[in-house]
Amino acid sequence: MKKLLLLLLAAAAATNVAAQPDTLTVNKDYYPQKRNVEELVPVTRKNIVMLGNSLTERGFWSEYFQTERVLNRGIGGDCISGMIHRIGPIVEGQPRAIFIMGGANDLVFSKISGEKLLEQYERLLGIIARESPRTKIYIQSLLPLNEAMNEKFFKGKNARIAAFNALLRDMAARRGLTYIDIWSDMQRDGILPAEYTFDGIHLKADGYRIWIEKIRPYIK
């Protein structure tokens, strides 16, 4: 019986890995709805844009930085290819700054390599630089996970995220961009502490407090 159980668990794990796509695509239901609503407010030269996935979307950035004209352009489930798809209306407004946090969904829910994902990320940066050259770009590190809260999807993914953060740091240095290391302030023993998260990835207020203070000098 014990041997059979181990075989079943191994088969389930293999099925889970096999089910992951090579690259991630956006949610076809929620994504266009949220994008449509966000774009009711056009981006202008006075704006700072927070670009990202659900972690960005769930932050109340305009309330956190009330004296700065901050727009939230986070969409839950978004990936780097999705950000490429919707960056056009953002750069048309020539914002004064864009804070990017992207890639976590790609690394957690697909089999894409860090190097391939970095190529997508650099394509996104290339579009911003070409279409809105005066926009200041800030590369935010990805955040750690609490793997114990969702082992099915998160087990082993902190290592992938940490490795990608290293790629982001090197890329930012090569491009002359500012890299903001939020990971180091958010992690404890390499994981996201339980008191910072509801489900192992999404943040409680204490988690956002760390993020806010980390980027405050750049917002101001």
Question: What's the pTM value of the predicted model, to 2 decimals?
Answer: 0.89
Do β-strands 70-74 and 97-101 pair in parallel, antiparallel, or remain unpaired?
Answer: unpaired
Among 157, 212, 153, CA closest to 190: 157
Task: Note whether 63 and 219 are within 8 A (CB).
Answer: no
What are the pLDDT digits (tens) for 58-103? 999 999 999 999 999 999 999 999 999 999 999 999 999 999 999 9
Among 115, 40, 130, CA closest to 84: 130
Burial of 195 (0-12, 13-18, 19+ CB in 10 A): exposed
Q: Tell me the average pLDDT of the chain.
A: 90
Domain ranges, ordered by start, for the chain: 29-219
The secondary structure of 163-194 as a DSSP string is HHHHHHHHHHHHHT-EEE--HHHH-BTTB--G
Does pLDDT of 119 surpass 70? yes
Q: Read off the pLDDT band of 27 (50, 70, 90).
A: low
What are the pLDDT digits (tens) for 51-68? 999 999 999 999 999 999
**Domain 29-219 superfamily per CATH:** SGNH hydrolase (3.40.50.1110)
